[in-house]
Amino acid sequence: MKANNIYRETSFEKGMNDTLPPEHLGTGYLADALNCFIRSDEIVKRNGYTIIGDDLGSAACQGIKGVRFADGTKRVYSVFNGAVYSWSGSGSWTSLGGTLVTSGYVDIVVANNAVYFFDGTNTVVKVNSANTLSTVAAIPIGTTARWFHNMLFVTGVSGLPNRVRISNLGDPEDFSTGTTATIDVNPNDGDYVVGFGELKDELLIIKSQRAWSLTGFGTATLTLADLNERLTGFGTIARRSIINTGNDVLYLSFSGDVPHVRSIKRTQYSDTIVDGGIISKQIETTMKGLNKSALDMCAAVFDGRNAWFAIPNGSSTTNNKVIMYDTVTKAWVRHSGINASCWDVFAIGSQVQIYFGEATGDSKAYRFDTSTSDNGTAINFQFITRRFGGDMPESKKKWKYSYLTVKETGNYDLTVDFAKDGFDYSNLGTINLSGSGTVFDNIILDTSRLGSTDIKRKRFSLPKVVSFYTQYKVYETSATSSVTIRDFETMYFPKHVREV
């Protein structure tokens, strides 16, 4: 009797890879991973989100920020249709007024126990701990700002594309020191400052084609030690894509025909800041499909492990897709159903959660929680395996069985399809995720089973399937389910070449 050969996948930690053909992928890779997390050698359907506050109309969210004031008061602030709103953790949004631009991004910055709103056009708006709104004429009207080392850095002032203005120490509303509070970063070079990042004790000033860093911070005012060009040829056009993940600053870059997510990092031993290169090479096909004329809409957030990038896919002019990078495993997955114009990570209660504002013409903001749906809409979970047989492309195989092991999570059906040699998928069947209950078996036999189990394993037959490759798609689309995949196997006999 012939012995079965087995392809076994017990670890998926390399994530999705759509750059290589699926038959060239190695163990641990997936051809697709949609709406899931890859955790501890498991594929887990992601949790959902719920609306916070109320629906404010038909305008996209222009900015969102969670704030904890010095007296312990916590609020979430947002901007819709040019107006500022606050939310205390329950109930509806409270309108504070405001005369900001009615479309486009508004940068929200917390500095010295107050919240400042920058739109690049109107006088900066301020909200204090008493939740009172006012304007501050002394602050430069920029597009973005950063509170760093007790100084407010502002850039994006109209007509001054390379200028950074700096407030007095400890006072974000005092820019009275004149020229000593102004830095022109390689002016008149045809480039412009897009946004700020922070890495170690340096303030990164990132242009569209270059990245610079500012050093010289201490306990007193800034004593400029160095304005150093850290990276030439690669910058960003999306200021909201710049995020710090610890030892790296990640951002969306676009200098050729394919957008990329790049890294600026500090070295392990010398703490020197260097180019970390492209980190999105595994999903280059996805990156090629983005709307290259709307990349400035990209927005990112870091949750402590995963970096989430909301991006405009296809012909969309708003962010309609999310790609997520696991900074531990270096794996990518993708998410649908999340249209995020802006993000924040905040704990208005006892738990830190991700917040985001709607990117489409729908004035809502959401918070990720333990929901199994996206505010009532089903989450479409799917993963597609690599194309098995790529290590023996010269010979056909007689495929026999596939096995799927899952965690018992409830009465939900997980569907399994298969395709041979890249043709259309055909259905193999389903596996129900409900528990088998308590089992009392013969305790004398070695095969005895007592109690209950938390896993389920099912065999799917592949009768008379002969091909070079086979590939599997596993999916579930309900609004109430949770799914955990433990491992996957497929078995075959090699078809030997006949002698002539």
For range 152-158, the mean pLDDT: 96
Q: Are residues 200 and 348 in the same domain?
A: yes
| 434 and 395 inside one domain | yes
CATH number at 224 reads 2.130.10.10
Mean pLDDT of the chain: 91
Which tokens belong to 436?
Answer: 């088998």
Rounded to an integer, what distance in angstroms lies between the CA atom of residue 117 and that of residue 484? 42
121: in domain:
yes
pTM over 0.85, yes/no = yes
Burial of 216 (0-12, 13-18, 19+ CB in 10 A): middle
Which residues, in sequence order, are CB contacts of 440 under 8 Å at separation 6+? Answer: 450
Same domain, 155 and 201: yes
Q: Which range (246-260, 412-426, 485-499) has the least confidence?
A: 485-499
Note whether residue 373 is domain-resident: no
Mean per-residue pLDDT, 319-326 = 98
Mean pLDDT of 213-217: 79
Q: Is the pLDDT of residue 4 over 80?
A: no
Separation of CA 271 from chain center = 26
Considering the domain boundaries, does residue 374 fall inside one?
no
pLDDT at 329 over 70: yes
Of all residues in the chain, the percent with pLDDT exceeding 70 is: 92
Identify whether residues 260 and 386 lie together within a single domain.
no
Amino acid 464: pLDDT? 82
How many domains is the chain built from? Answer: 2
Residue 401 counted as domain residue: yes
How high is the pLDDT of residue 230? 82
Does residue 260 sit in the same domain as residue 301? yes
Tell which of 344, 368, 392 closes a domain: 368
Distance in angstroms (rounded) separating the CA atoms of residues 498 and 242: 59
Q: Is 158 in the same domain as 272?
A: yes
DSSP class of 150: T
73/193 same-domain check: yes
Q: Could you tell me the pLDDT band of residue 496, with boundaries at 50, 70 and 90?
A: low
The CATH number of whichever domain residue 456 belongs to comes to 2.60.120
Average pLDDT of 302-306? 96
Whether the CB-CB separation of 397 and 389 falls below 8 Å is answered with: yes
Taking residues 17-21, what's their average pLDDT? 97
pLDDT band at 436 (very low <50, low <70, confident <90, very high): low
- Other beta carbons less than 10 A from residue 217's beta carbon: 18
Domain boundary among 368, 394, 420: 368
**Which domain, by its residues, includes 207?**
49-368
For the segment 391-400, the average pLDDT, to the nearest whole number, is 88
Output the pLDDT for position 440.
47
Do 291 and 306 belong together in one domain? yes
Q: Are residues 42 and 56 in the same domain?
A: no
- Helix H, strand E, coil C: the string for 330-363 is CCEEEECCCCEEEEEEECCCCCCEEEEEECCCCC
**465 pLDDT exceeds 70?**
yes
Residues 53 and 40 in one domain: no
CA nearest neighbour of 492 among 420, 419, 397, 403: 397
3-state secondary structure of 442: coil
Percent of the chain at pLDDT exceeding 90: 78
How confident is residue 489, by pLDDT bands cut at 50, 70 and 90?
very high
Amino acid at 35: N
Provide the 10 A C-beta neighbour count for residue 438: 10
pLDDT tier at 219, thresholds 50, 70, 90 = low
Say yes or no to pLDDT of 80 above 90: yes
Residues 248 and 120 in one domain: yes
Same domain, 35 and 177: no
2-31 average pLDDT score: 91
> pLDDT-based confidence at 380, cuts 50/70/90?
very high
User: Could you tell me if 271 and 200 are in contact, meaning their C-beta atoms sit under 8 angstroms apart?
Assistant: yes
Give the Cα separation of 21 and 16 in Å (integer).
12
Q: Is residue 375 part of a domain?
A: no
Average pLDDT rounded to a whole number, residues 311-319: 97
